[in-house]
Amino acid sequence: MSDSLFDKLKNLSLYPMHMPGHKRNSDLLGNFLPYGIDITEITGFDDLHRASGVIDDIQRRLAAFYGAKKSFLLVNGSTCGIMAAVVALCSFGDKIIAARNCHRSVYKAIELYNLSPDWVTPPLDTQTGIFTSVSAEGVEKAIEHTPDAKAVIITTPTYEGVVSDTQKIAKVCEKCGIPLICDTAHGAHFPLFYGKSAVGDISVTSLHKTLPCLTQVACLNIFSDKVNTERIAETLQMFETSSPSYVLMASGDRCMRLLEKEGKELAQRHTDRLEHFYKAAESLKHLHIKNSENCDKSRIVICCENTDISGKELFDRLRREHGIECEMASMRYAVALTSICDSDEGLLRLENALAAIDKDLHKAQCTPLPEIIAPKVYKTAYQAQKCEKLLVSLDESIGKVCGEYVWAYPPGVPVIAPGEVITADIVQNILEMRRAKLNVISRDKEKLLILK
Ligand SMILES: Cc1ncc(COP(=O)(O)O)c(C=O)c1O
């Protein structure tokens, strides 16, 4: 008989360079038994959807930590917060300005509410294949083009830790009276490392990704009076369970209390660890660690574009030969997620593993990747999902209207969405992702779903 999921989990031994941010560090966080504290809304334990007691206290702590006017604790991840924010700000059939490299939850909100997106596509770093920042100029142009958009939504930081200038983008949005939603799912730890800063009108943050919190715990923060808090509370009820887990909420509470007490010291210790790691990584000959001003240093992006190894092979070698499980692999890089719960040994293990792998590598020619261009839209995703569809070969699909989402997971950014016109470049991109053995999600491995 195969191992139970519980046994498999108990026997995990690889070092976690991935989410959740607590890194299973029971030395720091202790061990507490979920069954003993798993309850429903009994007397004295408040109600997440109408919080006024112990749960509201957690929300106040969150608001203080993020510098928000109001925070909602979430137990269905950032996904439910993003859906709720978009639906609160838009009406069915409205227009929205969105960064093309948004997470699938944004695409799903757009589909659900039959929204017409005006995409802002940040330039691609054509060497590594990593999206760079969204610029204020890009957002301004989109607003000129679509002045009746009901919201702007961008991702900052991205899966690869790339940060956009939110202050500047927020100013542009404010001038035009359009609310800005920042998907900061990957930036829950930012106030600890980079100080508090308002992030548009709404930010949605996955505490579980980079802080000591159980998986699914997130929060939605409101920074301005432009946002109707009551409406957000209502839309959250559409996307969030009516039976929120007290185990998850308690982990949010513990996380906030730990950060209030020891956050600064833990962040300083981790900054020191990272400094040591980045310094040591300078001696790598072939691999290199992405390290620029507008990047979150705790997200270690190991680039291999000039080598004879792919991001996926690098990911596999770290796992197989060095017992390190990374967060994700792409064609030309792998991502190791670090947090205040890492150990010195963990970072040292990664440092030594990269030095060992680097020795075996050879220089290889790197051909620039094509820029990403948002495809032409024939129908909204909502309309396209209502149409009859058929599967055709990838070759045959070129020039046709797509009937499905295709994305590599992670990072979960679609290459194409329903209603968009398939181009030869998009087919090429899908083929290359499959060749690189990335986890490409689509209906069929060889074919694409198109509208009849
Ligand atoms: C940019 C981005 N936004 C939102 C989400 C959704 O977050 P959650 O898993 O907390 O629902 C993810 C998940 O990976 C993400 O990468």
- Give all domains of the chain, ordered by start, each with its CATH number: 30-257 (3.40.640.10), 381-451 (3.90.105.10)
Mean pLDDT for the stretch of residues 93-100: 98
Residue with tokens 């030309």: 332
Mutation test residue for ligand 1: of 101, 103, 190, the one with most atoms within 8 Å of CB: 103
Query: Tens digits of per-residue pLDDT, 190-201?
Result: 999 999 887 899
Mean pLDDT for the stretch of residues 437-441: 89
Percent of the chain past pLDDT 70, that is, above it, reads 100
Query: Tens digits of per-residue pLDDT, 195-227?
Result: 988 789 999 999 999 999 999 999 999 999 999
Tell me how far apart the alpha carbons of residues 340 and 193 are, in angstroms, rounded to a whole number.
10
Report the 10 Å Cβ neighbour count for 418: 26
pLDDT of residue 153: 98
94 falls in which pLDDT band (50, 70, 90)? very high
Distance 383 CA to ligand 1 centre (A): 25
Contact 314, 357 (CB under 8 A): yes
pLDDT of residue 55: 98
Mutation test residue for ligand 1: of 74, 78, 100, 107, the one with most atoms within 8 Å of CB: 78
- Report how far apart, in Å, the C-alpha atoms of 121 and of each of 118, 233, 431 are: 10, 31, 22
Distance 266 CA to ligand 1 centre (A): 24
Residue nearest atom 14 in ligand 1 by C-alpha distance:
411
pLDDT of residue 30: 84
- Report how far apart, in Å, the C-alpha atoms of 17 and of each of 262, 318, 328, 406 are: 22, 10, 9, 26
pLDDT of residue 229: 98
Q: Which atom of ligand 1 is nearest to the CA of 80?
A: 11
**Averaged pLDDT score across all residues of the chain:** 96
Of 33-47, 116-130, 159-173, 235-249, give the lowest mean pLDDT range. Answer: 33-47
Distance 185 CA to ligand 1 centre (A): 5
Query: Tens digits of per-residue pLDDT, 23-79?
Result: 999 889 888 768 888 999 999 999 999 999 999 999 999 999 999 999 999 999 999
Tell me how far apart the alpha carbons of residues 273 and 310 are, in angstroms, rounded to a whole number.
27
pLDDT of residue 395: 96
Query: Tens digits of per-residue pLDDT, 389-415?
Result: 999 999 999 999 999 999 988 888 899
Contact 106, 154 (CB under 8 A): no
Crossing angle between the packed helical segments 77-89 and 229-239, to the nearest 10 degrees: 130
For 108, the enclosing helix (H) or strand (E) is helix 104-112
Mapping DSSP to helix (H, G, I), strand (E, B) and coil, where does residue 120 land?
strand
Nearest CA to 85 out of 110, 62, 50, 68 is that of 110
278 falls in which pLDDT band (50, 70, 90)? very high
370 falls in which pLDDT band (50, 70, 90)? confident
Contact 82, 204 (CB under 8 A): yes
Distance 184 CA to ligand 1 centre (A): 9
Contact 421, 400 (CB under 8 A): yes
Distance 158 CA to ligand 1 centre (A): 10
Q: Which atom of ligand 1 is nearest to the CA of 82?
A: 4
pLDDT of residue 124: 94
pLDDT of residue 411: 85
Tokens standing for 370? Answer: 């094509």
Mean pLDDT for the stretch of residues 100-126: 97
Please enumerate in sequence order all residues whose Cβ is within 8 A of that of 46, keeping only pairs 6 or more positions apart, or say none: 52, 53, 54, 55, 56
Supply the DSSP symbol for 418: T
Q: Which atom of ligand 1 is nearest to the CA of 102?
A: 1
Residue with tokens 């838009």: 90
Query: Tens digits of per-residue pLDDT, 13-23?
Result: 999 999 999 99
